[in-house]
Structure 1
Amino acid sequence: MEYETPLFFHVMEYANRAEGDVIDMVSGNPDWEPPEALREGLREYADLEPDRFQYAPSEGLLELREEIAARRGVDADQVVVTNGAGEANYLAMARALERDRGDEIVLTDPVYPYYPGKTTMLDGTQRFVATDDKGRLDPADVREAASEETAAIVVATPNNPTGAVYPESTMAALVDVAEEYDAILISDEVYDHYDLSGEFASALGVDSSHRIVTNAFSKSMAITGVRVGYAIFPPELVENAKSRHMLVNVATTRPGQYAVLRALRETGPDYYEANRELLRERVDTFTDALDTAGAEYTTPRGSFYVMARFDGYPGTLENVERLIDEAGVAGMPGEAFGDSRSDWLRFALVTPRVEEAARRLAAYFE
């Protein structure tokens, strides 16, 4: 089996090799500060006894799992702490496929490209359901696409790349579809702290044995390099997921878990609201420049991405490279996210140079 290297890496490598100054709007690495309590936790950990530098319990530190469980309204035994949301999604998709309820994974279009990549890696087949022009997903379309071969339905809310946020009614309807076809709804909620709409609803709000929720602290605490995520499984699905996690990774970082636990306990809501406010300001700055450039664009209701379409400039890899060379701005080609947005480009608003990038794009496309 052959796997394709994600286009993210190609674009980042091209931008790094480019001559001149290039503003990185490719990857979702927050540029703001992590919680101070997280830094303090890492400092404190350095002075602990040698036994604290050995393997953590495979499913995660008990205190962290209990803290997550209390916040999410589940039992701690349902929580598996993972190497970020990436592994959490892998475990969830693998668990859905190994139930022998078909080999099909229903995905949205546009889609975060790691989901179809994981589907291929797990010997599943992909089936796509288009969202509307604002990235909203109609559960009726998902129901029409589902069949007896459907093992899982994978959604992300708030969404990457469209910025859409799925309300409670959508999540409940998607769980209904999963139950109807004895499939698993996998809800990736890694951007839940970046809901700008007030409409975010977790799939955990629906009591069902047909849904798995994945998340991580990578985005919410601006620590993508620390690699602490988690998946919440129904009780009847969790044991095999724990075994696969142990075989693949043994355990995830013990210092990272320790620091995240301290940050969870000591970081108040003001930290998260300040980051959302920063993001709101960047959305306004960037979309104002897109208006100047005459672009069509999506205004994110969550997450921190904007998709834009410039007349006569389709979202190909070649055009992304041109933009790097000629405008000094690196974004992602729309074709990386599926067929429906192949004319678009995606920009991540996680750089302090958003205003400068906006000026460069406006000047380039005027």
Structure 2
Amino acid sequence: MKDELISLLNKNLLEVEPSLIRKFDEEISEIPNIVKLTLGEPYFNTPDHIKIAGIKAIIDNQTHYAPNRGIAELRGAISNYLKRHYGVSYDPQEQIIVTNGASEAISTVMNSFSGQGDVVLCPSPAFGLYRNLAKINGAKYIEIDTENDKYKLTPEKLKEYLNKYQTSVKMLIFNYPNNPTGVSYSEIEIKKLAEVLREYLVVVLSDEIYSELIYKEKHVSIASYLPEKTLLVNGVSKSYAMTGWRVGYLCGPKKLIRNLAKLHQANVATIGTINMIAAAEGLINGDEDIKKMRAEYEKKRDFVCKRLRDIGYSFIPADGAFYIYVKLPHDFQGSSIDYARILAQRAHVAVIPGAAFAIQDQKYFRISYAVSDDKLASALKRLEKFVKGRRR
């Protein structure tokens, strides 16, 4: 009977593979003495004033159901934060939904807009969640290869794909700073992309979860140029080291948010009241926390890049996030998974293979430098020893 019940599942779901990031991380975790540079998990602890706000909420018995779209205090804090940091305006009553992390915000949008045969465009490489959600919904996930354009989506390439798929296109997924490359976009580049998108009937899912982790230029949200078509996704996980609190948010035009709230309500009803109170504290009083963490990440980025160059690796220059996308040695004939396994087994360094970020294998691996300085130094020393040994 068990096997017969499997046949009743959504056929699209059966074809979806579990996250390769999580799968590979689990695979190599049992290797003794391994240094893991795998997950996008800030190594910082949640700042004390945010934790205290959560503790106080428990003591004050703020442990009951919250409104579906989130408590008013947090929605107001999100609205003010986005206005203060990025100059985008959202009505906290009608244009914001608090979600179970940024992941639920993404799934709410994709489950609402993508159906059987619809086309979802996404610059590649990209976070695997987008591809899996499109597949579950029966949509055609079309990757726009950015390798020849310094891993950025250009207006010309965007227009080419929009014209190629025309009325079948429902959505463009746009994540920046990008996971896995760390590449981001200037204000001029954002403006030019918005000018192209304005001419087409397409919604933009703008995943800006790493927006606070840009090291030189200020982050510019595409929502500032294309508010009528943008569904903005963000959250507190990366910027405030609150991954376990599971607080994200989704912002957009009133009519769209009104309908997306129905799916959010059906899926999760609401998230934890305590978590939202803590997140509000971060958004209201946590600007200095962001500055300190960002400065530390920038130092780590510079250290990793220098060491990788010294070792002889090529990589994509990262503008933000906490990832470096490293090219496999030119003489290595296997896949990115093969190379990552070799690093884990011989160098005792765990990275994520590029195959996790595109349909076709990427001859890269991703390093997450959101770890302690000691772990980074140890991992790079091991990589150096491994590379030198391989050259002999």
For normalisation by structure 1, the TM-score amounts to: 0.94
Q: Displacement of 1:43 after TM fit?
A: 1.4
Residue 321 (structure 2) aligns with: 303
Aligned mates of 2:111, 2:253 — CA distance in 1: 14
Counterpart contact for 1:85–1:229, Cα < 8 Å: yes
Asked whether 1:53 is paired with 2:63, we answer yes
Residue 139 (structure 1) aligns with: 155
Change over 3 Å in CA distance of 1:220–1:105 after alignment to 2: same
Q: Deviations over 1:289-348 (max 9, x none)?
A: 211221111121010100112323355223212211111111011121125762111110
Asked whether 1:332 is paired with 2:349, we answer no
Aligned mates of 2:268, 2:359 — CA distance in 1: 34
Match of 1:284 among 285, 288, 302: 302
Bigger drift between 325-334 and 269-278 goes to: 269-278
Residue 131 (structure 2) aligns with: 116
Report 1:22-41 matches (<5 A): 22-41=34-53
Report 1:216-231 matches (<5 A): 216-231=235-250
Asked whether 1:107 is paired with 2:122, we answer yes
Residue aligned with 1:95, SS: helix
Q: Displacement of 1:197 after TM fit?
A: 2.5
Q: Displacement of 1:357 after TM fit?
A: 0.8
Aligned mates of 1:226, 1:159 — CA distance in 2: 23
Aligned mates of 1:355, 1:280 — CA distance in 2: 15
Aligned amino acid, residue 58 of structure 2: A
Residue 252 (structure 1) aligns with: 271
Match of 2:110 among 79, 89, 93: 93
Aligned mates of 2:133, 2:153 — CA distance in 1: 21
Counterpart contact for 2:81–2:284, Cα < 8 Å: no
Aligned amino acid, residue 193 of structure 2: L
Q: Deviations over 1:212-260 (max 9, x none)?
A: 1100101001111110000102112111100000101111121110111
Aligned mates of 1:357, 1:16 — CA distance in 2: 15
Residue 363 (structure 1) aligns with: 385
Aligned mates of 2:226, 2:306 — CA distance in 1: 42
Aligned mates of 1:137, 1:341 — CA distance in 2: 19
Counterpart contact for 2:336–2:361, Cα < 8 Å: no
Q: Displacement of 1:47 after TM fit?
A: 0.7
Counterpart contact for 2:81–2:283, Cα < 8 Å: no
Q: Displacement of 1:169 after TM fit?
A: 2.6
Aligned amino acid, residue 79 of structure 2: A
Q: Displacement of 1:196 after TM fit?
A: 1.1
Counterpart contact for 2:194–2:225, Cα < 8 Å: yes
Aligned mates of 1:122, 1:238 — CA distance in 2: 20
Aligned amino acid, residue 231 of structure 1: L
Q: Displacement of 1:264 after TM fit?
A: 1.9
Residue 191 (structure 2) aligns with: 172
Q: Displacement of 1:270 after TM fit?
A: 2.8
Residue 80 (structure 1) aligns with: 97
RMSD: 1.8
Aligned mates of 1:83, 1:329 — CA distance in 2: 32
Report % sequence identity: 24
Counterpart contact for 2:205–2:232, Cα < 8 Å: yes
Q: Deviations over 1:76-119 (max 9, x none)?
A: 11000001111111112233337x9x711001111111111111
Residue aligned with 1:347, SS: strand
Aligned amino acid, residue 327 of structure 1: A
Aligned mates of 1:365, 1:85 — CA distance in 2: 37
Residue aligned with 1:159, SS: coil
Counterpart contact for 1:78–1:235, Cα < 8 Å: yes
Aligned amino acid, residue 38 of structure 2: V
Residue 288 (structure 2) aligns with: 270
Residue 204 (structure 1) aligns with: 223
Counterpart contact for 2:353–2:364, Cα < 8 Å: yes
Residue 28 (structure 2) aligns with: 15
Aligned amino acid, residue 319 of structure 1: Y
Residue aligned with 1:247, SS: helix
Residue aligned with 1:46, SS: helix
Aligned mates of 1:323, 1:217 — CA distance in 2: 32
Counterpart contact for 1:187–1:211, Cα < 8 Å: yes
Q: Displacement of 1:17 after TM fit?
A: 1.7
Aligned amino acid, residue 40 of structure 2: G
Residue aligned with 2:212, SS: helix
Residue aligned with 1:244, SS: helix
Aligned amino acid, residue 190 of structure 2: M
Q: Displacement of 1:23 after TM fit?
A: 1.0
Structure 1 residues without counterparts, runs of 5 or longer: none
Residue 370 (structure 2) aligns with: 350
Aligned residues, how many?
A: 360
